[in-house]
DNA sequence: CAATCGTGGATAAATAATATCTATGATTCG
DNA sequence: CGAATCATAGATATTATTTATCCACGATTG
């Protein structure tokens, strides 16, 4: 059981975008540099978030990304499902029916009980994530992430950020 | 986010072992054939379960596997953690600190809030699995899985089972 | 018109999961 | 005692998935 790195990157990106001033924009390259990941790779996730309508992209020389909705309306679950996909972690392969012996199919009308329990646990997992919004995280992100940026003059991220949201 | 196939195999194996008569033994080859997977591969997971002291192995021509504890004392979480490993699905990479800009380390004393939320969700997930024991599943397994076996004469699984737990 | 940026697909590299094989040691049965 | 059966454990191949990069295209701004 593992969660891809993309999830962490995506969450941090959304959190930082939430900390931008109103109508602020941040180019993908700036987000990538700040996180120390390749721009091309991060773009993949940003575009996924864009398709999921969690963020908006603005093309052009002064373009970039911003949130598509209010921070209160974006939950961690939204981000995780967008990046990781909606399929549950446990997929019942119905191995009960795979044996070479002629187990009659009518014995398996009922869905596998094991599958049922595993999915119930996953539902609890998602429910927890659904209750946390980006707005809930915003305060700390503003403190931990962006406050550092203010001091980081000369950093390309800072330059880009200033150029975009404080022209 | 994905759970390996081994989890499903392991759970079914444990469930079937729970349905055996007292002191019954089942060879790995029989379990593998019944599930339609290779013996060598299933052995890997059975040995993992053995190391986790969820099942016991008995060597020798009439050997095989049986539960190491009462079905009421084996939870789904035990099996999932044994096979999948105890590490959480979300591992905070602290990408806040990875950027090329000289963000001072003292800004990151507090553990990442995102990490905290993700782990809380995973805790809820595990709590659900902890509340389901093999005994809870045993009734249905006995009906769905082993009842079919009783009719499956000529199947090597049936032969092995009979040879072992009803000598 | 030119520079900048996002889009999207194709693709390569890296990593992990899956599956198999072989050798070894222990145990039981004839 | 010896042969057969089984679990153990490590090595290894195979496949799938993840991660990462690249390039051509279209849109937008100045």
For A105, the token pair is: 């199919």
If you measure CA to C1', which residue is closest to nucleotide D26? A59
CB contact at 8 A, B46 and B31 = yes
Residue B75: what pLDDT?
A: 94
Going by pLDDT thresholds of 50, 70 and 90, the confidence category of residue A1 is confident
What are the DSSP E strand ranges found in B35-118? 55-58, 64-67
CB contact at 8 A, B52 and B66 = no
Residue B109 has pLDDT above 60, yes or no: no
In angstroms, the CA of A61 and the C1' of D23 are apart by 20
Q: Is B57 helix (H, G, I), strand (E, B) or coil?
A: strand
Residue A45 has pLDDT above 80, yes or no: yes
- B139-167 pLDDT tens trace: 654 455 544 443 333 344 545 554 444 43
Helix (H) or strand (E) holding A5: helix A5-18
CB contact at 8 A, B8 and A114 = yes
Contact, A3 CB vs strand C, < 7 Å: no
Residue B140: what pLDDT?
A: 58
In chain B the domains, ranked by start, together with CATH numbers, are 5-86+134-164 (1.10.10.10)
Of A89, A100, A125, the CB nearest to B121: A125
CB contact at 8 A, B45 and B10 = yes
- Picking from B15, B74, B95 by the largest number of A CB atoms within 10 A of its own CB, the best residue to mutate is B95
Cα A84 to Cα B44: distance, rounded to the nearest angstrom: 28
Report the relative pairing of strands A64-67 and A55-58 from DSSP bridges: antiparallel
What number is the ipTM of this complex?
A: 0.83
């Amino acid at each position: 059981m593992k969660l891809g790195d993309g999830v962490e990157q995506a969450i941090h990106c959304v959190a930082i975008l939430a900390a931008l001033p109103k109508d602020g924009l941040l180019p993908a390259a700036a987000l990538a540099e700040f996180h120390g990941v390749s721009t091309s790779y991060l773009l993949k996730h940003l575009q996924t978030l864009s398709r999921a309508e969690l963020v908006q992209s603005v093309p052009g020389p002064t373009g970039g990304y911003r949130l598509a909705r209010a921070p209160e309306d974006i939950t961690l679950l939204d981000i995780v499902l967008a990046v990781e996909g909606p399929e549950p972690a446990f997929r019942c392969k119905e191995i009960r029916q795979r044996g070479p012996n002629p187990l009659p199919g009518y014995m398996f009308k009922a869905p596998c009980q094991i599958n049922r329990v595993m999915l119930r646990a996953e539902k609890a997992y998602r429910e927890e994530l659904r209750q946390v919004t980006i707005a809930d995280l915003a305060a700390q992100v503003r403190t931990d992430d962006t406050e550092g940026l203010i001091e980081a003059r000369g950093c390309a991220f800072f330059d880009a950020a200033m150029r975009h949201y404080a022209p």
